[in-house]
Amino acid sequence: MRPPTLHALLCLCSCLTLVRPFDWQELNPVAHIESSARISKLQALMAAAMFGQTKIPTGNGPYSVSCTDLMFKYTNKSTFLRVYYPSQGDEHSETIWIPNKEYFFGLSKFLGTRWLMGKILNSLFGSMTAPVSWNSPLRTGEKYPLIVFSHGLGAFRTIYSAIGIDLASHGFIVAVVEHRDGSASATYYYNDQSAAEIGKKTWLYLKTLKHGEEEVPLRNEQVQLRAKECSQALDLILCVDCETKNVLDLEFDIKQLKDSIDRNKIAVMGHSFGGATVIQALNDDQRFRCGIALDAWMLPLAEEVLSNFSQPLFFINSERFQYPANIIQMKKCDSPGKERKMITIKGSVHQNFADFTFATGKMIGHMFTLQGTIDSKVALDLTNKASLAFLQKHLELQKDFDQWNDLIEGKDENLIPGTNIDTTKQPVTLQNCTGTEKQNLD
């Protein structure tokens, strides 16, 4: 099994080698910086392969949406967030999807390729935009529920914009944490105020397994740190008396944001490794009233955590990613008197929950499992509507999201109640993120 969240980028690299094969051993990324002509040729070839590409969709709710970045404090212990929120006005502008070339370099490291691949990916996707305005004033006059979102392994804060935009368009504030535990493909921080003032970023790239290193202890350590980062983000957002300055020095009113959050209506949500982070965060922090785990990767979690928390939990799975051992671990979260729901989206793949599903055309998307047989917009719509119905019920919202309550039960032609995985007839294995499997002897 490939790494859960950035399988997409491996697919894109594979696309490039299909379109124009490279002998990577002959390329020196320092001495042979690619020419603009080569990049233009690659872009043209990739454009042909991406015929039929769709854009990241706009939100379906009644609110206009904007986004901003918040960074609190300095060093690698700082908190870094992409925040989506209801905004004033009816602005229809765009924001760069992946804002720094270093993220593409981090992706190239994650894929095990040379830095040149990062330059190619930057050239191909560096100008791609998301349909959301940047740094617009927050829409005031009401209190909004808050969702803290945790990204997957090898991902970062900007690549769940389709989910963030849609939930914000329905009246939520969505804070996507960029994790500092070594699970993001890349992230940056400032060492101190002087570094921030001159824009001197310190980049932190993906932590890879050392030769012979066991994966489970590392991932368990990371998932605990990730949950703490979610709680730390919550501390900083909710602390009215704290003087929280945005290190990025953007003209955004943080106090207004704090004053606009309904402090009793807070949820945690995440994808893949972020789905495991949801469960760890529910266990560690009672302020999260419920959680939504999108295609959760359960390997990082300790057994005792699975049945130890009481808040409601909703698993939304893809049809093609899950496997018996993972579903068995999900079912260990079940306990009498605790709300646990699970649905599976027919024809969906792991990347249907991330923006990568909109990054290529249908041919390449299907060939390399960036897209499933279900239309990506339909899968996203089902995910968000089911999530909204679940959030209304457990955050006690006075909205009309209960019109989608049937989706929570899997009542739709594109949904399976529970799971499509038979856990009784197949060998039970725990898969790690490097393609090997660990036998479960229970």
Q: Which of the residues 350, 355, 376, 394 is marked catalytic?
A: 350
Render the burial of 367-400: b for 16+ CB within 10 Å, e for the rest.
bbbbbbebbbebbbbbbbbbbbbbbbbbbebeee
Residue 225: what residue type?
A: L
Amino acid of residue 279: I
DSSP secondary structure letters along 94-112: -EESS--HHHHHHHHHHTT
Is 123 among the residues known to form the active site?
A: no
Whether 295 is catalytic is yes
3-state helix/strand/coil string of 351-382: HHHCHHHHCCCHHHHHHCCCCCCCCHHHHHHH
10-residue block means of pLDDT along the chain (442 residues)? 41 39 30 44 51 78 97 95 93 90 90 80 88 95 97 96 98 98 97 95 94 94 98 91 84 91 97 98 98 98 96 97 96 94 97 89 69 94 98 97 98 98 70 40 29
**Catalytic pick from 136, 295, 318, 355?**
295
Beta strands in 299-428 (DSSP E): 313-318, 340-345, 415-417
Tokens matching residue 259: 């004053």
- Could you give the CA distance from residue 66 to residue 417 in angstroms, rounded to a whole number? 34
For 189, other C-beta atoms within 10 Å of its C-beta total: 22
The Cα 147–Cα 318 span in angstroms is 22
Q: Is 32 known to be catalytic? A: no
pLDDT attached to residue 4: 40
The candidate with the shortest Cα–Cα distance to 329, out of 280, 386, 281, is: 280
Long-range contacts of 278-283 (CB under 8 A, 24+ apart): 278/150, 278/313, 279/305, 279/306, 279/309, 279/313, 279/333, 280/223, 280/224, 280/226, 280/227, 280/305, 281/148, 281/150, 281/226, 281/227, 281/230, 281/231, 282/309, 282/311, 282/313, 283/227, 283/308, 283/309
What is the pLDDT, as a whole number, of residue 83? Answer: 98
**CA distance linking residue 134 with residue 428, whole number of Å:** 47
With H, G, I as helix, E, B as strand and everything else as coil, classify residue 124: helix
How far, in Å, are 238, 290, 327, 394, 396 from residue 261 at the CA level?
8, 16, 34, 17, 15
The pLDDT score that the predictor gives to residue 61 is 97
Q: How many CB atoms lie within 10 A of CB 86?
A: 25
The reported pLDDT for the residue numbered 47 is 56
Return all residues near 51 (Cβ < 8 A) that are at least 6 apart: 361, 363
- Rounded to two decimals, what is the model's pTM? 0.87
Within 10 angstroms of residue 22's Cβ, the number of other Cβ atoms is: 16
